[in-house]
Structure 1
Amino acid sequence: MSATGVRVAVTGLGVIAPNGLGTEAYWAATRKGSSGIGRITRFVPDGYPSQLAGEVDGFDAAEHLPGRLLPQTDRMTQMALVAADWAFEDAAVRPGELPEFEMGVITASSSGGFEFGQRELQALWSKGSRYVSAYQSFAWFYAVNSGQISIRNGMRGPSGVVVSDQAGGLDAVAQARRQIRKGTRLVMSGAVDASICPWGWVAQMASNRLSTSRDPERAYLPFDPAAAGHVAGEGGALLVLEEMEQARARGARRIYGEIAGYGSTLDPRPGSGRPPGLRKAVELALADAGAEPRDIDVVFADAAAIPGLDRIEAETITEVFGPRAVPVTAPKTMTGRLYSGAAPLDLAAAFLSMRDGVIPPSIGVSSAPEHGLDLVVGQERTATVRSALVIARGHGGFNSAVVVRAA
């Protein structure tokens, strides 16, 4: 079988989200439409125009990780390490029992360890350089999650990090699929992001895409006539990827499905007159999966909640699938946009939709009629889901799409 014909399975999920710690807690809350969005508590947000976020509540790294790791890791890395542990447990994989050069880690990041970096800069300014942690040299870095996961689990195979904002989570999984097809036995992939701190907040606000609403139920409204920006969040998902037949041969506890197709594009320069690249990314993903539009049972939308970007995404969906021809959902309305962690969380939701025969809802929104979307709103919808499309777009014009399929 050629490398491109190798099927890549997902055998484990590790989820940390604002509306649920752990895969099943997240999924139960998402199916019920329970939101994790609220007023920021990790710092006092009074002086900022945007004051809402999807914060992960109840996460105590000391309950899950060795004490020696706590002073050298940012919050996002602590959550990523725990999500990786949960994904391995779900996959019934003990990494210590596998050859270390046959396991890799490929994650995405949009900000790195902002909260750690802010704390050390404050120490520098207020106390002096002697009080800056030596761990600052790597705890802030985009690649730190990949590095710490690989060190903790003895994974010395092909590894890396992708930096392309929201699209990065899908790009990382696609790179992991490439490595599996080249012969790597197992790759941990996905993303966990967290930068809800003053420094990180100012950086996010620079995009001019954050909602300034103070109402958690009406702040993040993708495809809605009242759409006026997104709510940021923290968390994400990590996935265990293996070659399909190998996973079956080892007696994997569960095969959620496969990463069947991937496409990515970059939008043209503003003012060039050329069309956006999102439709091409979707078409590339479908072609890579050998799928027709009619094969897709649900679309997990990027859901920018910026009117112009919503229009582009809605046009892409209706042009590829037809008006109201495929159910569309945006469960990130319950978590906020988790940056690089958002799309892997949507991948997890897509696999769980296949498992349970339901499409999770988008909450708080009413789809504008002109978009022509069959948006699943209010409550979950029972459906047979065999294949799903996940869309993600990053600031700066990155577009990515992944087709996932039941095994």
Structure 2
Amino acid sequence: MVGTRGRGRRVAAAAAVLALVAAGCGGGADDGTVELRYAWWGNADRAELTQQAIDLFEEQHPNISVTPTFQEWDAYWQRLNTDAAGGGLPDVMHMDYMYLREYADRGLLLDLNEQVGENLDVSGTLDAFADVGTVDGARYAVPIGGNTFTMVYIPEEFEAAGVEVPEDGWTWDDYDAAIEQVSESSGEIYGGHDYGTLIWVLELQLRQEGGELFTEDGGLGVDAARLAEFWSHMQPLRDSGAIVPTSEAVEVQPLATIGAGLSASEFNWDNQLARFTGETDRELALAPVPTSDPDNLGQYLKPSMMYAAFSRTEHPAEAAMLIDFMTNSPEVAQIFGGSRGIPANTAQREGAEYNEVDQAILDYEDAIFDQLTVPPPAPPAGAGSLEGEFIRLGETVGLGEATPEEAAQEFIAYAEQTLGS
């Protein structure tokens, strides 16, 4: 086991490498060792775990040397775009589902189908993730872990208000009534938060109605009228004091409203439970998202992150071997647990060592697993920037700086320009 001091040196070295290494793929040393660049997003805690996994890989593959580089989310994508513009990317990199098609369409990602059966085994991937890394038949990414949407709530607040949270979820009207009751009962905490900034809640509602956020030809699957309806729905909840005012939510950022002690419930991806438990000492629980159709939650397992390789890497076989090790090794699963989402590989999912929070997420996913539907195709190129614009416009509505109709028209225009539809 690597000592704390040794891990600290490696973390510092990894951060330094990110600032110094030039764009482009890895090379080879004079002694014949293959050098791979491996880039991912995260923090220093994840860096320590990643280095442990890399150490194991290098022990089993002494002819391969891995140089890790990492940054936080926003900086990571800025750097990746810079590297791509300069003609090079890391040999192996983490990829997000929202950006998969964008990088694939630009010819930047290696078709890993060429390595399957030789240097890459994908047979253990969950059936729900069988196609999430593919675009037009080419396999550009392999899922690392998965998550699904959830309602995070404080059981004590709902119990005190005499509100029972059903195991199979609420309708949206039932949820609205419940959080109003919690707010009235407490007088100190709001029942919910303003989910008008969450494009993923809109996506779930569209799926519950039989639609999708994006059309098959890469356009936006919602019109201005439906979007205005979505944003208008929150106004009665604001007026009744059922949800946290946008001004207060913005003021406590980057804390979540439930983490800041403002709300008794919040919608987010289930792997965010780890974040929320780090922000509050209140007991938290997970429940399905409300639905307009009792037979359709609209929920699906989304890859929390994926592995991809550079299309022009000098070492495609070795890059695939690293991806194979990271997604199949039981030892890697024991190192990461559920910190990158519950593993997308069956053996890793069963063999990982979970802490209390990870176990709660796994139990929640297992409880609704039969109700999860097939994930939508990879979003169209440009979709990654829509979430930020949706948040901005949702906040303007919540602050009263724009009407739902005005914000909807602005978002539709932005989406059409961004997606080229």
Shared topology, TM-score over 0.5?
no
Bigger helix share:
2
- Rg larger in 1 or in 2? 2
What TM-score do you get using the length of structure 1 for normalisation?
Answer: 0.25
User: What's the TM-score, normalizing by structure 2?
Assistant: 0.25
